[in-house]
Amino acid sequence: MYRILGTIVGAVIAGGVLVASPFAATADEDGIHKIKHVVIIMQENRSFDHYFGTYPGAEGLPTKDGKFTVCIPDPAKGSCAEPFHDTNDRNFGGSHGAAAATNDIDGGKMDGFVKQAEAEKNKACKDPDDPACAFKNANLDVMGFHDRTELGNYWSYADNFVLQDHMFEPNASWSLPEHLFQVSEWSAKCSRAGDPQSCVNELDHPDLPRDFGKAGQSSKDPDYAWTDLTFLLHKAGVSWGYYVFPGAEPDCEDDAAACKPVKQHAKTPGIWNPLPFFDTVKQDGELKNIQDLKNFYAAAKAGTLPAVSWIAPSQQVSEHPPALVSVGQAYVTSLVNAVMQGPNWDSTAIFIAWDDWGGFYDHLTPPSVDQNGYGIRVPGLVISPYAKKGFIDHQVLSFDAYVKFIEDDFLSGQRLDPKTDGRPDPRPTVRENVQVLGDLRGDFDFAQEPRQPLVLKTDFVFGKPLATAAAVQPGPGGTCPAGTHLGPAKKRCQPD
């Protein structure tokens, strides 16, 4: 039996659906402090309908009499494209920058996904080794969806904990702006180093890391001068860690669906690791908190997790096309298992999401909260010993809700608000206070006894080659996922 958030404090319309907002009055407001550790696992580039569109009880792909009722224009075929069950482990998706979001949403009709992907495929393919060329030769799969067959562990988490079916990317754009929102509630461009007041809103083109500019170079490192959450955490003496999986980052400038990966590790700031470019992190002496992922596994085992943990993947395990769904799911399971099998499980909340929609279809029109978003809907999961079981949260949410939860739990409700946070900047909106935003406390029952761990099977072992990757068939043009290469016989991809 799937329960729906019951007490509606306010109500909003999102995609024609009445949803609860912002916080169920029946929730235990003091119980939040039973959570001593928040872990945010951010994966890549999947929409809600793509992963949970057929999950029972969720606001998924529309149907009538057992048949899908959506079919969006397919200009190449002169017809329309319906959702289909995609059993492929490797997907390609489509463009996912601000322009792509606008085209996909198409004024609320949510019908631009196929047209946008076809336009991407028609772009010139100059380098046969570039993953963009593999995308050009691949079958369009933006209307594809997965189910329990491919996503057994993710669906098991939904069965046993909380699935959020109105979770929207906070910004209608790609990975770098989203990761800036994730840690600071804003994406901006600053004209004077060290001056928060010189920053202006920039949804799609904040300054890029040096290794990610045109032709692989930017003229200088960016300076993110505005205020981020670590500033408040440090001031309050709240511990935090940002854990980076060594490997590669794949996301692309110029709104491309695929591109050559760029190397990353904890000491290489990048699009998935932007905190080293924040003035506050450097000034507070907190660069050491940006660490190799192996330290997260060690802390989970020892019971020394910080109060707040962010986890950034590498391309191989990110689920960012063309990375394998199976490998990413195994990796996420290994992170959850590490927490569940460690001493901190009884006081931890794990939030899992995917940073943007990756070009994959979703039918629900995002609410508009300001000039930056929300973006297209993505999957969201909550795992905790205090999480409700089999609960589908229909509140309107974005990743801003993670920041709000952290602030309510550890900072007495302090917000990243230029009027009160002690470090003013000209951000357009205090995102945690947006009226439409729900409250994650509604996903918990703090009166219940802490629930037992649900340790699921995985063949992922951190630091060792992935057996699943070794068995992968090459993609179009003989391409392999990041972290693998074409074997001598040119018939299978094998780990690097």
Q: Which residues span the domain enclosing 386?
A: 3-53+149-443
Positive or negative CA dihedral for 398, 297, 247, 484?
Answer: negative
| Pairing verdict, β 484-486 and 79-81 | unpaired
pLDDT digits (tens, 9 = 90+) for 133-144: 655 666 789 999
Other C-beta atoms lying within 10 Å of the C-beta of residue 129: 10
Assign residue 197 the CATH number of its domain. 3.40.720
Positive or negative CA dihedral for 118, 124, 129, 132?
Answer: negative
Has residue 276 got a pLDDT over 90?
Answer: yes
pLDDT digits (tens, 9 = 90+) for 452-473: 999 998 876 655 554 443 345 5
Output the pLDDT for position 218. 56
Least confident of 147-156, 336-345, 454-463: 454-463
Question: Distance between CA 150 and CA 152 in Å, rounded?
Answer: 6
Q: Is residue 106 part of a domain?
A: no
Output the pLDDT for position 459. 74
Q: Is residue 74 part of a domain?
A: no
Query: What is the average pLDDT across 53-81?
Result: 95
Query: What is the average pLDDT across 284-293?
Result: 96
Structural domains in the chain (count) = 1
In contact, 258 and 264? CB cutoff 8 Å: no
Place of tokens 């992190």: 281
Q: Is residue 29 part of a domain?
A: yes
Q: Is residue 143 part of a domain?
A: no
Q: Is residue 159 part of a domain?
A: yes
- Which is more confident, 254 or 155? 155
In the structure, what pLDDT confidence band is assigned to residue 9 with cuts at 50, 70 and 90? Answer: very low
Q: Is residue 263 part of a domain?
A: yes
Output the pLDDT for position 253. 54
What six digits make up the tokens of 470? 């070794």
Taking Cα atoms as reference points, which of 289, 177, 281 lies closest to residue 231?
281
In contact, 412 and 421? CB cutoff 8 Å: no
In contact, 142 and 359? CB cutoff 8 Å: yes
Question: Distance between CA 443 and CA 27 in Å, rounded?
Answer: 9
Has residue 183 got a pLDDT over 90?
Answer: yes
At residue 194, the 3 state secondary structure works out as: coil
- The CA-atom distances, in angstroms, between 22 and each of 88, 351, 366, 439 are 38, 18, 16, 6
Its pTM stands at 0.87
pLDDT digits (tens, 9 = 90+) for 363-416: 999 999 999 999 999 999 999 999 999 999 999 999 999 999 999 999 999 999
What six digits make up the tokens of 215? 């032709």
Q: Is residue 14 part of a domain?
A: yes
Q: Is residue 489 part of a domain?
A: no
Summarize the chain as % helix, strand, coil (round to 5).
Answer: 30, 20, 55
